[in-house]
Structure 1
Amino acid sequence: MSRFLGEIKQLGYVVEDIEAAMKYWTEVLGVGPFYYMERVPLKNYRYKGHAYEPHNSVALANSGNVQVELIQARGETPSMYRDFIANSRSGLQHVAYWTEHFERDLQLLLDRGWKVGMSGEVGERGRFVYFETEYHPGTVIELSEVAGPKGKVFRIIRESAENWDGTDPVRAFPDLSKL
């Protein structure tokens, strides 16, 4: 456990084929169900200080209290995900800490000298930042706000994994605007 941010809550894997990755995780590893979103509705996305409109697909499932995130960057929009793939990597790209006190925790890390490489928002009170520093080759740290609808979705995903029997392994992502 981090003395600064608590438990690691998510393992983020960048993959080249998200459908194949979901099939592997559900059929071989027995992790699921995955909640899949073909295009994440990002707002205020920035990469190295520049604004872009990326097309990323995401699938989320839980294994116990740890969330597994599968990410496929579609298109050529610059991002830390594209950098990861361009460096002949696939697999674990980030570990994430979740917070309901985003401003406070972000400032704590900035004060420690961490630099933001990528940031954005998913829904209301769903901000995130990825820091530039690699703590293992290719692996970076994400700080993710989970105070609003995004936090509710993460709870739904965790609860559905608790007694998952293998049926309906890929499900539609809940509508954040209706939570």
Structure 2
Amino acid sequence: MIPIGYSGLPIRQVAYFVQDVRAAAAAHAAAFGSGPYFVADNIPLRRCLHRGVEAHLDHSSAYGQWGELMIEFVQQNNPGPSAFRDMFSEGREGFHHVAIIVDDLDAARARMEAAGFPTALEAEMHDGFRFLMMDAVERHGHMIELYAGVPTLTGFYDFVKKAAAGWDGSNPVRTISLG
């Protein structure tokens, strides 16, 4: 169950924390016909806070479409604390978060924190795009990622969904840059 105030907002993405995003994406594509997957290596962040403390996060992600839902596989490339390591110790993997697009990121954070879901991650990419990871693990077993529906994000979602339309299964894992 999604926290109060989010019942009308669809889950736009489900994400798994894995050791190797390319292998996970290829396996999911083979098993379920999802994809194609677009892999961004070492996604650059301008700023990253883990539970309110400045942190370094080097991560890579694979993004693909499965019906109406985007699937993300994410790996952490550096040691140290993170919203991913909060759930999975070194060598472990599993379901990590659902993502919701909100109208106002700061207001959404305030509502989530008031409902008992602390901010595990606040990050900003170099183009100014911000996203939050809210800790819903105790109540729901996973994190909830929030981001505003800015054109950079919605355009990327459209790009991935359009690539999946009529996809013939060839070249299931492709490299892109999010720099």
Q: Which TM-score tier does this pair reach, normalised by the shorter chain? A: 0.7 to 0.9
CA contact (8 A) 2:21 2:73 kept: yes
Q: Distance in 1 between matches of 2:159 and 2:175?
A: 12
* Residues 87 and 55 (structure 1), Cα distance of their counterparts in 2 relative to 1, 3 Å cut: closer
- Residue 21 of structure 2 corresponds to 18
Letter in structure 2 aligned against 1:82: R
Letter in structure 1 aligned against 2:170: T
- Residue 67 of structure 1 corresponds to 70
After superposition, where does 1:107-146 map in structure 2 within 5 Å? 107-124=110-127, 126-134=129-137, 135-137=139-141, 139-146=142-149
- Equivalent residue in structure 2 for 1:51, among 50, 54, 76: 54
Superimposed CA distance per residue, residues 18-53 of structure 1 (whole angstroms, 9 cap, x where no aligned partner): 221011011122110101011111122110111122
Cα deviation, residue 61, structure 1: 0.6
Letter in structure 1 aligned against 2:120: G
- Residue 107 of structure 2 corresponds to 104
Cα deviation, residue 15, structure 1: 0.5
- Residue 41 of structure 1 corresponds to 44
- Residue 170 of structure 2 corresponds to 167
CA contact (8 A) 1:125 1:146 kept: no
CA contact (8 A) 2:112 2:134 kept: no
Q: Distance in 2 between matches of 1:56 and 1:19?
A: 13
Aligned residues: 175
Cα deviation, residue 149, structure 1: 1.3
Show structure 1 runs of 5+ residues with no match: none
Cα deviation, residue 78, structure 1: 1.4
Name whichever of 148-157 and 83-92 sits farther off: 83-92
- Residue 82 of structure 2 corresponds to 79
CA contact (8 A) 2:22 2:173 kept: no
Q: TM-score, normalised by structure 2?
A: 0.86
CA contact (8 A) 1:117 1:129 kept: yes
Cα deviation, residue 89, structure 1: 4.3
Percent identical: 25
CA contact (8 A) 2:103 2:149 kept: yes
Show structure 2 runs of 5+ residues with no match: none
CA contact (8 A) 1:126 1:148 kept: no
Letter in structure 1 aligned against 2:144: I
Q: Distance in 1 between matches of 2:128 and 2:5?
A: 21
CA contact (8 A) 1:99 1:147 kept: no
Which secondary structure state, in structure 2, belongs to the residue aligned with residue 156 of structure 1? Answer: helix
Name whichever of 23-32 and 87-96 sits farther off: 87-96
* Residues 157 and 49 (structure 1), Cα distance of their counterparts in 2 relative to 1, 3 Å cut: same
Which secondary structure state, in structure 2, belongs to the residue aligned with residue 39 of structure 1? Answer: coil
Letter in structure 2 aligned against 1:44: R
